[in-house]
Amino acid sequence: MIEIIPAIDIINGECVRLSQGDYSRKTTYRATPLEMARLYADAGVKRLHLVDLDGAKAGEPRNLQVLRQISESNLLQIEWGGGIKDRAGLEAVLEAGADYAIIGSLAVKNPEVMEKWLQEFGGERIILGADLRNGKVSVNGWLEDSPLSANELIERFIPFGLKEVICTDISKDGMLQGPSTGLYLDLMERFPRLTFTVSGGISSMEDIRSLNDLGLSRVIVGKAIYEHHISLEEIENFIND
């Protein structure tokens, strides 16, 4: 069964959501990240997707206090993205309690470092983040586009132990219009030994059930929960079904 991974995007320690990665199109929610983590854990969720949007822009982690709070609660496994641009950033995130580190911009700009980290920490902990806009990988908090396709980026790291990829279609992110299903089916067919996480566009439990029927392993859900398109009760029922 597909694993549901709720997302918490953070700016200034608060839960927010952006539309299509645009920082000027931000919605801030009243619940704190720790409060949301507790609700997710109560619903049976095992893994949380934390994104440090301040860190993504600054080039270094900026919301580690949120990570520590959730980690110390021992509620959920945590995958962390945003601001990991060097060894100091990676170590800070792991020491603050992240179980998995998502590497995006650095993998594009300094692939040799990504290769070393995969070999040192293993593909179980180092996850490739491939965020796509018009078919090309976007970096620096989605503020800059690279010339690389997802396939080109993924192929580079397979010899070094890559196991997991979170692929986001930026055009779908926060829009509640359904995921780019064809993108993930193509990736699964091309790289059958890798685990892909669907990210962007989830609007309903029907979207999740469809992805499950197609054999996808994991799906990140954010705005659909905050905007009440998917309830925690529905998630709990799906997990326990």
Selected catalytic residue, list 54, 131, 169, 173: 131
Q: Which residue has the tokens 């900026």?
A: 62
Q: What separation in angstroms does the CA of 3 have from each of 81, 156, 190? A: 18, 27, 21
Q: Which helix (H) or strand (E) holds 155?
A: helix 150-157
Sign of the C-alpha dihedral, residues 174, 177, 178, 182? negative
Q: CA 66, 83, 6 angle in degrees (round to 5)?
A: 50
Active site residue 86: no
Active site residue 131: yes
Name which of 1, 15, 46 is nearest 222 in CA terms: 15
φ and ψ at residue 132, rounded to 5 degrees: -110, 135
Alpha-carbon radius of gyration of the chain:
16
Which residue numbers are catalytic? 9, 131
